[in-house]
Structure 1
Amino acid sequence: MRTVLLFFTLMFMPSAAIAVDAAARDAAKATVERQIDAFRRDDAATAYAQAAPAIQGLFPSPETFIAMVKQGYGAVYRNRRYSVDRIEDAGDEGMALGVTLQDEDGADWAALYSLEKQSDGAWRITGCRLVKAPGSKA
C-alpha cells in the first residue's frame, strides 16, 4: 500500500492530553470540511487559510499551496464524496480526524488529518496522511 504525505505532519509535543469538548470537535471538523470544499471550488485563499502557520510557511502563497495539492493529491483536491468518520484527541491542544474520500475515478482513500488549536482559538490543519484503501478500484 502506498502512503502519500499531503503536508508535513508535525509531531505534537508530548504533554497531558486534554479532553476536547463537542464544540472543539465541531470546530476542527468544520476546518477540514471548509478546506475540502474550498478545493472543490478552486478557492485557494480559503483552502490556504485552513492550514496552520507552519504549513503556510512551506507554501508561501495560496497559489503555491493549491498547486501542490492539485499536482499530487487528487483524492483531496477533487473527490466524488467524503465523510469525517472519527475525531480523536491528539495531545495537548491537538486533534486528529479520520476522513474517507472517493476520488473522481472511483478509488477509495483514507486520510488522517492532524489539527492544532492556535493561540487565537482557531483549529488549523498541521498535516494529512493519505492512504489508498485496500482493494480499492482504479
Structure 2
Amino acid sequence: MRRAFFAFAVVPFIFASQAFAGDAEVKAAQTVIDGQLRAFIANDGMTAYSFAAPNVKRVFPTVDTFMNMVTKGYPPVRQPQTYSFGKVRETSPTSIIQQVLIVGPDGKDYGAVYTLELQPDGSFRITGCSLRASTSLST
C-alpha cells in the first residue's frame, strides 16, 4: 500500500526534448536525482531521504521507513550498477518528469520515471518514481 503511493502507475509518457524545460531547471532536477542515487549507492539513507518531497515524507516519516520501502520495492534504484538520464518533460513551471535509464544490481535494464516539484525554498525535490523492467533501452 505504501509503495503504491510512491510509485505512480506506469503510464506511457510522451517526453519532449530538453528544449521545452529550461536548462537550469533540468540541471537542478538531474542534480537532485543524481544526489539521491549516489546516496543510495553509498548507503547514506539520511542524504537519500533529504531529496524526497514533503508528500513522500508524510507517507514515509522516517529515514528507516523510506529506506525499507526503496530497498524492498526498488532494488534497481537502491543499488544501480549504472544510470543515465533520458528524456525530460516540464509539465508546468514548477514540475519536471525525468526519465532515468538504469542497469540494476541484477544486470538488467530498467526505466525509472521521476517526478519532481519545485519547493518554496527554490529547490527541486522528488515527489515520486515509477520503475519498469525493459528488454531494450536506448540512450
Query: Could you state the TM-score of these two structures normalised by the residue count of structure 2?
Result: 0.82
Task: Name the counterpart of 1:62.
Answer: 63
Give structure 1 stretches of 5+ with no counterpart. Answer: 10-18
Aligned to 1:46: 47
Q: CA deviation at 1:76?
A: 0.3
CA–CA separation in structure 2 for the residues paired with 1:90 and 1:98: 13
Q: Name the structure with the higher helix share.
A: 2
Partners of 2:75 and 2:4 in 1: CA distance: 13
Between the aligned partners of 1:32 and 1:85, the Cα distance in structure 2 is 12
Amino acid at match of 1:7: F
- Tell me, yes or no, if the aligned pair for 1:83 and 1:99 is still in contact at 8 Å: yes
- 2:27 equivalent to 1:23: no
Deviation >3 Å, runs of 4+:
none
- Gaps of at least 5 residues in structure 2 are 9-19
Aligned to 2:105: 104
Output the CA distance in 2 between the equivalents of 1:6 and 1:36.
Answer: 20
Question: What value does the CA root-mean-square deviation take over the aligned residues?
Answer: 2.1
For residues 96 and 77 of structure 1, the distance between their equivalents in structure 2, rounded to whole angstroms, comes to 19
Identity %: 34
8 Å contact kept, 1:6–1:73: no
Instruction: Tell me the CA shift for residue 6 of structure 1.
Output: 7.7
Q: Which amino acid aligns with 1:44?
A: G
TM-score, reference length from structure 1: 0.83
Shift of 1:64: 1.1
Partner of 1:7: 6
Alignment of 1:26-37 (within 5 A): 26-37=27-38
d(CA) in 1 for partners of 2:133 and 2:72? 17
In 2, are the aligned partners of 1:114 and 1:127 still within 8 Å (CA)?
Answer: yes
